[in-house]
Amino acid sequence: MQTVTLNNGIEMPVVGFGVYQIPPEQTEQAVTDALAAGYRSLDTAASYGNEEAVGRAIGSSGIPREDLFVTTKLWVSDAGEDKARRAFDTSLRKLGLDHLDLYLIHQPYGDVYGSWRAMESLHEEGLVRAIGVSNFHADRLVDLIDHNEITPAVNQVETHPFFQRTADQELMRERGVQIESWGPFAEGRNHLFTDPRLSEIADGHGKSVAQVVLRWLVQRGVVVIPKSVRAERMAENLDLFDFELTDDQMRTIAAMDTGASLFFDHRDPAMVSRLGNATLDS
């Protein structure tokens, strides 16, 4: 598995397995299948409600802890220095681990600075190997960097052919932050899996559209965490390293960018209020 080196020297696999929207009762089997397929990076969150199932799969896998890269995320309702520390302890207990590889602030709302102070302490204590953020637009990311000691190692944001985040990625590169894609397939919106441009490229390489999209992201230096509950699709999503897109093919996909989210704008006041006041029970 190829890796990227984060700003503190930690290596992170470029392809991981995401468990967003996998029901808790299906998560343990899905993670077990993903680990069997060769995934060694797992991405969950407190708000997904499936950390315990992820932990059970890790515990029964027999894979040495040092071979795994485990990420989870802090939800908005637990923002703040004291609450973030308690939320971390809860996540760690649910996962059955003694440390995390990456801990992210899930949304850029609430007491972000208090949360970041707690995460800096967790990092200094060796309980987290790297800390980062998710869904931070450039202005919020730069503000956090400029007023704290530790620069986020990762910013996990919506990134796919229809919302490519090239300017955001360049700023992150300049600031030493690794971009990570959530929703690499845009959940199939805009008919992604049947798009004629992607289909033509896929046919030329004897690959699927999903593999082309993931290869395009990885080739751009974007970490990806595709989700599937089908073992054969999990294996397919890992099979990205025996082909390379040409410059023309990269430009073809680049031309698909709409420059806008297909889900929601994290700077829309109504969405800010909705997410910022959502509890884990919401």
Q: What is the DSSP string of 196-244?
A: HHHHHHHHHHT--HHHHHHHHHHHTT-EE----S-HHHHHHHH--TT--
Flag whether 177 is in a domain.
Answer: yes
Flag whether 89 is in a domain.
Answer: yes
**Residue 269 to residue 265: CA distance in whole angstroms:** 9
Spot the catalytic one: 39, 48, 103, 109: 48
CATH for 18 = 3.20.20.100
Torsion of CA 109, 110, 114, 120, to 10 degrees: -30
**Residue 184 to residue 162: CA distance in whole angstroms:** 10
Find the angle CA(64)-CA(240)-CA(188) to the nearest 5 degrees: 105
Q: What is the pLDDT of residue 1?
A: 85
Q: What is the pLDDT of residue 280?
A: 84
Flag whether 281 is in a domain.
Answer: no
Q: What is the pLDDT of residue 70?
A: 98
Flag whether 242 is in a domain.
Answer: yes
Strand residues in the chain grouped as ranges (E): 3-5, 11-13, 17-18, 41-43, 69-74, 102-105, 131-134, 154-158, 178-182, 223-224
- Domain coverage including residue 86: 3-276
Q: Token digits for 9? A: 């020297």
Residue carrying the six token digits 């029970």:
281
**Residue 74 to residue 105: CA distance in whole angstroms:** 5
- Report the domain count for the chain: 1
Q: What is the pLDDT of residue 206?
A: 97
**pTM exceeds 0.85, yes or no:** yes
CA atoms within 13 A of residue 88's CA, in its CB half-sphere: 28
pLDDT digit string (tens) for the chain, length 282 residues: 899 999 999 999 999 999 998 999 999 999 999 999 999 999 999 999 999 999 999 999 999 999 999 999 999 999 999 999 999 999 999 999 999 999 999 999 999 999 999 999 999 999 999 999 999 999 999 999 999 999 999 999 999 999 999 999 999 999 999 999 999 999 999 999 999 999 999 999 999 999 999 999 999 999 999 999 999 999 999 999 999 999 999 999 999 999 999 998 888 899 889 888 888 874
Nearest CA to 232 out of 59, 15, 30, 24 is that of 30
Flag whether 250 is in a domain.
Answer: yes
Q: What is the pLDDT of residue 282?
A: 47
Flag whether 282 is in a domain.
Answer: no
48 is catalytic: yes
Torsion of CA 59, 61, 65, 68, to 10 degrees: -120
Q: Token digits for 168? A: 């955001």
82, 111 in Cβ contact below 8 A? no
